[in-house]
Structure formats: structure tokens, C-alpha cells
Structure 1
């Protein structure tokens, strides 16, 4: 029955997400990881040999994560229906429900006013909201949806399938470390090198799998083009500075006939980023909702595939 852990976790998280009461009571596993990273960074990110110290931080983080989750998984597998409890724990490291809610909230706010849309999109992207017009807000939300569909849903699911609870937890630890210290500024360029490289490695297959799933989902979404989704991913996916982030963004752009990416403003500085897709850039709330429709169909496809894998392994 262990094979049914991933589809069960995916289904439960999509239905229930992470309960707010639980967040208030014990916080979230990613917050625990972030606290440990902050403590280690404060102690280690100083003096010489910062690249080696960053590698040590990552090793300590992964060792503790592995020790805790392997022990929990081993104990649960001795209990009746322990795989169900393991699936419930794994739901805390998936983000499909919250991602859909957050992006949908941008569509709803933008339908009310540009100011409301700017406020809402600032909750999910780091770019300067005051520099965004309506189309800019819509593109920011859709780009965030595409990228997070990979590193917030498909990548953790991929590592859950391969490694159970320890697999998804180790992925999330690497991803959290990269988000906190994997930057190219003076403070983190050396210290965060190991975290950034590890994140590139663990997301390499999932990013391309996400693009493929978006292309597959396009067959069941009216107006979406599966062939354009995949051909755009192949053409534009490698344009991004990240070896992975461009793939799902290009696939979604191609599927729905959008042009995403392009210049973005962060902290008052404009960054000239590549464009993905060659379609419309004048997007609005309806386009965000269409992107969410494709995203939800992608989730259906992912659930079906994990369930099919479970049935084959069970037999």
C-alpha cells in the first residue's frame, strides 16, 4: 500500500491544504527549516571559506532533516495504516491548494481595481507592484503560478514518489535553503552557492516534467494548445537565467497563447529578462483564471499518473 502514499497525499492536500489552526498551533515544517537555516547562517556566514561553510550548513540541514523523517517514516511503517499517516504528513510539504488560492485572489482583486490587484500580487511576487499596470499584474500572477507549479507541487511530488516522506522533506529543505541564501548578492554569493546548485539539480527533472504535464493538460482545456505548449518550452525554456524556471513558464505561455517574462522592476531597478512565448502580453483577470484552469487540469493529470503508478506497483 506504500505505493498509494503519493496520490493520497496529493488528493488530501488539494482538498484541505494546511489547516490555519495547525499553522497557528505548531507553525509549518518549512518555517522550522527556515529557523534552522537562519541559525546556521548567522553562525557560519562570516570570515573566509564561505563557500565551504555554506556547504557545511546545507549538509547539517539535510542530515537533521533525514534523521527526523527517516525515523518517523520507519515508525509509521510498523503501524497499521501507517502509510496513511505518512501521506498526511507529506501533505504539509505540497502547496497546490494555497497556490491556487493565492493566484485566484489576484484575479479577484484585479477585477475590482488596479490598486487592489497590485496589493494582492505583492503577496506572491517580489517585483515592485507600483510599476505594474493591469497587464503587468496579470503576467506576474501567471508567471508565479507557472514557476510555483513546478517547485511547489510537481517537484515535491516527484521526490515523494521516489523517496516517501524523507524524499519530499529533503527536497523542501534544499528548496528552502535556496530561497533564503541562494542569492547572488555580496552576502550570499559564496555562502549560498551549494544551496543554489543543489536546488538546480533536484529541480532539473521536475521542471521539465511540469512543462510536459502542462502540455498534456492542454488537451483537456478549451482553447489551449498542447503542441504549442511543448514546442515553446523546447524553444524558450532555456532562456531563463535559472536552468529550470523557464520551462513551466514557457509551456504555460505557449499553451494559452501568451507572452510572459520581459523587463521587471525589483527594488527600483529594472531587470531586462527574456520573454517566453510569442503571444499576447495585454493580459487581465480572465487570463489569470484561464491559467488556473490549465493548472487544475495539470493537477488532475498528475493525480491520475501517480494513481496509475501505484496500481501498477501494487499489482
Structure 2
């Protein structure tokens, strides 16, 4: 039987090789369908914050229980662990926009970007398309890669020797993400109903976002030959200059390493918002910055898997000794 470190490592390698094929059903799709159906039932109740919390607790409890059970079977455990990672998928989506911009097809680039972000893309110029892609890659390095690793580690440490523990914690984290993406909006329908889901998503990303911005991205920048000193400097200066309590951490580290400035005017649902700037504008955005960002993302993910698996190995050895 493979130990938990080997299973997580194999799952990560499969993700690097295969990514998420469009034809393959993904567990998050099933979580999303359940959320959609259960939301229709719960939304009729008057106390929206309470019913929204019931939705969140029910979804996460079922996700944990089902994942823990599936994790008892080694092949299924590896397969579902693999589906939690989004490294190759994130790089692929970024490179799609990169290649379209290289081909000078602005309209197609705007359309492709609209699948990745919730902001308005119709009026964007090339600079704002590049900025939006890079902000998305930087933020989603936490949601799609580092945080899942972190919670797999937590499961392995809290329930050592229990097949399915790492999977259950990792998949439950994805459940939090899915809830936030579906009901965690600050609009008329979800401001109360999705309040608990949105706050929970902020809480569960607090530690992973800081590990990513303070440790993994600067180390990745150093290995790749980018400006790791500025990555550290801008991180500590600008990490809190974001409406989100977590997004500014990876963004500031990337901005410092590449010498660009995130933030500025951004349009959501027809309304313009002035986002605080993050980083120093050493240079203008360039198409190649997308590739640099993707390289840093890969570097952070590799350092992350070594870092978290090393902690599991060290803790397990100390107990055995």
C-alpha cells in the first residue's frame, strides 16, 4: 500500500501531465449541481443568513463524508486527489489568452478572458487583458494549487494512517471554493444568503495565501532568476492593499518579482471600480509577462508539494521515533 505522501505526489504528477480534460466529469461539477438544487429549496426561508449557513454546512459535511469513504479505495483516492489540483489547467487557460494575443486577435482574447474572470472584458485593451490574466493566475495559485496541498497535509496530520483523510480535507476545501463561487457574491440575492460561504472561503485561505506570497512565490522567483528581493519587498509593503483579505498576498509577490503594477480601474457588471495599486510600475505589461507568471506558478507549486510533503514526512517520522 502506498503511503499518503506517495499518493499525493502521484496525484500532483498526473495533474501536471494530464490537467483537466474537458470530456472528463469533475467532482466539483457534482458539488455544484447539488448546491444549485439545495439552494432553490433553502432560499425560500425568511432568515437568509441561517439558511445559507445550512447550505454550507450540509454541502461540506456530505463532501467530507463521501470523500472519506471513497478514499478507502487506493485507486479512487489517487484519482480524486488528482482532480483537486489545477496546476496544468491554470497554465493552459493562461496560455490560451497568451497565444491569442500573440496572434493579435483582440476580440477573441476578450472572449476567452471572459471565461476566466467575472469582470467586464468588452472594452479592455491589451494591457488590461494581460493584467487580468496575471491577477487571475496569481490569485488562483492559492485556490487551485497551494491551499489544496495545505489541507491535504492537514488531513494527513490530523488523522494519520487513515486512508481518505487527505482526500476528505482537500475535497472539502474545494467544496468551500465552489460554494463561494456560486453564492458568495455581494449582490441583492446573495449578500445575506452567501455571507457564511464567502466568509468561510476567506478564512480557509488565510494561511495558504500567506505561505504562497511570503515563501513560495519569492523562492520561485529566486530559482527562476526573477527579482526575488523586490518580490519580498513588495509583498510586505502591498499585501494588504486589496479588497480581499487574501488575494493581495500572491499578487504583491508576483508584481514585485516581475516589476509590474496590478490594480487600477476595473469594470464589474457595467460599473467601474478603482482597485488599489499593487507593485511598482517598473515597466509596462508585456505579453511575455504571462509566461513569466505561469513559470512562477509552476515553481511555487513544485516548491509547495516538496514543502508540505516534507512536513508530513517529518511529523510522521517524529511519532515513529
TM-score (norm 2): 0.90
Residue equivalent to 1:289: 291
CA displacement at 1:303 relative to structure 2:
2.9
Residue equivalent to 2:44: 46
**Equivalent-residue separation in structure 2 for 1:95 and 1:128 (angstroms):** 24
Does residue 35 of the first structure (1) align with residue 33 of the second (2)? yes
Does residue 208 of the first structure (1) align with residue 210 of the second (2)? yes
**Equivalent-residue separation in structure 1 for 2:58 and 2:100 (angstroms):** 42
Go from structure 1 to structure 2 and tell me whether the alpha carbon gap of 1:69 and 1:189 turns closer, same or farther (over 3 Å shift).
same
What secondary structure sits across from 1:64 in the alignment? helix
The size of the alignment, in residue pairs, is 303
CA displacement at 1:205 relative to structure 2:
0.4
**Equivalent-residue separation in structure 2 for 1:300 and 1:67 (angstroms):** 29
CA contact (8 A) 2:135 2:262 kept: yes
**Equivalent-residue separation in structure 2 for 1:299 and 1:47 (angstroms):** 42
Query: Deviation string for 1:129-164 (max 9, x for gaps)?
Result: 122111111101100000111111111111112110
Give 1:263-274 correspondences, 5 Å limit: 263-274=265-276
Query: Deviation string for 1:295-315 (max 9, x for gaps)?
Result: 122222123324434543565
Does residue 157 of the first structure (1) align with residue 155 of the second (2)? no
Stretches of 4+ aligned residues off by more than 4 angstroms: none
**Equivalent-residue separation in structure 2 for 1:230 and 1:208 (angstroms):** 12
CA displacement at 1:281 relative to structure 2:
6.1
TM-score (norm 1): 0.91
Tell me, which stretches of 5 or more residues in structure 1 are unaligned?
77-81
**Equivalent-residue separation in structure 1 for 2:53 and 2:275 (angstroms):** 29
Residue equivalent to 2:254: 252
**Equivalent-residue separation in structure 2 for 1:283 and 1:94 (angstroms):** 28
**Equivalent-residue separation in structure 1 for 2:85 and 2:242 (angstroms):** 25
Query: Deviation string for 1:252-295 (max 9, x for gaps)?
Result: 10111110111101222101111110124631211111111211
CA contact (8 A) 2:260 2:281 kept: yes
Residue equivalent to 1:106: 97
Structure with greater helix share of residues? 1
CA contact (8 A) 2:59 2:175 kept: yes
Does residue 180 of the first structure (1) align with residue 182 of the second (2)? yes
Does residue 221 of the first structure (1) align with residue 221 of the second (2)? no
CA displacement at 1:230 relative to structure 2:
2.1
What secondary structure sits across from 1:264 in the alignment? strand
Residue equivalent to 1:123: 115
**Equivalent-residue separation in structure 1 for 2:10 and 2:312 (angstroms):** 10
What secondary structure sits across from 2:116 in the alignment? coil
**Equivalent-residue separation in structure 1 for 2:186 and 2:258 (angstroms):** 33
Root-mean-square deviation (CA, aligned residues, Å) is 1.6
**Equivalent-residue separation in structure 2 for 1:158 and 1:87 (angstroms):** 17
CA displacement at 1:240 relative to structure 2:
1.2
Does residue 132 of the first structure (1) align with residue 124 of the second (2)? yes
Tell me, which stretches of 5 or more residues in structure 2 are unaligned?
156-165
CA contact (8 A) 1:94 1:152 kept: yes
**Equivalent-residue separation in structure 2 for 1:251 and 1:62 (angstroms):** 31
CA displacement at 1:168 relative to structure 2:
0.6
CA displacement at 1:32 relative to structure 2:
0.6
Go from structure 1 to structure 2 and tell me whether the alpha carbon gap of 1:19 and 1:105 turns closer, same or farther (over 3 Å shift).
closer
CA contact (8 A) 2:48 2:192 kept: yes
